[in-house]
Amino acid sequence: MSTATAAARYGDYQMRLAQWSDVQDHLTFMYQTVLGYAEPAVLEMGVRTGNSTAALLAGVTATGGVLWSVDPAEVQVPHEWQDDPAWHFVHASDLDPEVAAALPGQCDVLFIDTMHTYDHTLAELRLWMPRVRPGGTALFHDTHAAVPGVGDPGYPCGGVSDALDTWCAETGNTWENRTGSYGLGVVRF
């Protein structure tokens, strides 16, 4: 990876840190999580405007890793990302069996920020969590369901946190919650 590309990806990440987004409070943690691995394989489910993608992509660029991102919607990201060999985008549902077959069988970091419903999140947990290597980390945005007219309630509630509770009960794992920006669930392996 060229120094110019690494600087550009870090610049994208820094720009997004300075702008409000629903994941803003977690971008530094996400970036630093990726930096904790040498040449990490990172899987991201849900891209939208690329705020989380910018943090993850800056991290893999700095460490010689690769990021695979999946989203069924049209994403709004810088055009130059499309040509970056450290980023692979798949325009499809993350629960599509063909997508699951095409993505790496193991990853160091998994990030999920998709539909936020209990059933969808539980299906994602069951499909993607077995791919996280021992020593890896899984991150889940929106563990604090937004309250209409109020925003982030500041405590775990809603489909994502309920699905994490169910999955942890099934597997004997635990998750921790990071507050701010609608919450971030963290599972360490």
Q: Which two tokens stand for residue 81?
A: 């990302």
Model pTM above 0.75: yes
Secondary structure (3-state) at 114: coil
CA 125 distance to own-chain centroid: 13
Instruction: Return the CATH number at 66.
Output: 3.40.50.150
**Considering only CA atoms, which of 35, 124, 126 is closest in space to residue 71?**
124
CB-CB neighbours of 104 under 10 Å: 13
- Range of 89's domain? 3-188
Q: Is residue 131 within 8 Å of 105, Cβ to Cβ?
A: yes
Q: Is residue 103 within 8 Å of 68, Cβ to Cβ?
A: yes
Q: Tell me the mean pLDDT in the region 66-85.
A: 95
Split into its structural domains, the chain has a count of 1
At residue 17, the pLDDT reads: 95
Which strand (E) or helix (H) includes residue 89? strand 87-90
Residue 1 clears pLDDT 70, i.e. is over it? no
d(CA 116, CA 83) in angstroms, rounded, equals 30
Type of residue at 29: F
Residue 161 clears pLDDT 80, i.e. is over it? yes
At residue 46, the pLDDT reads: 97
Between the two ends of the chain, the Cα-to-Cα distance in Å is 29
pLDDT class of 133 with cuts at 50, 70, 90: very high
pLDDT class of 154 with cuts at 50, 70, 90: confident
DSSP assignments along 46-67, one per residue: --TTSHHHHHHHHHHHHHT-EE
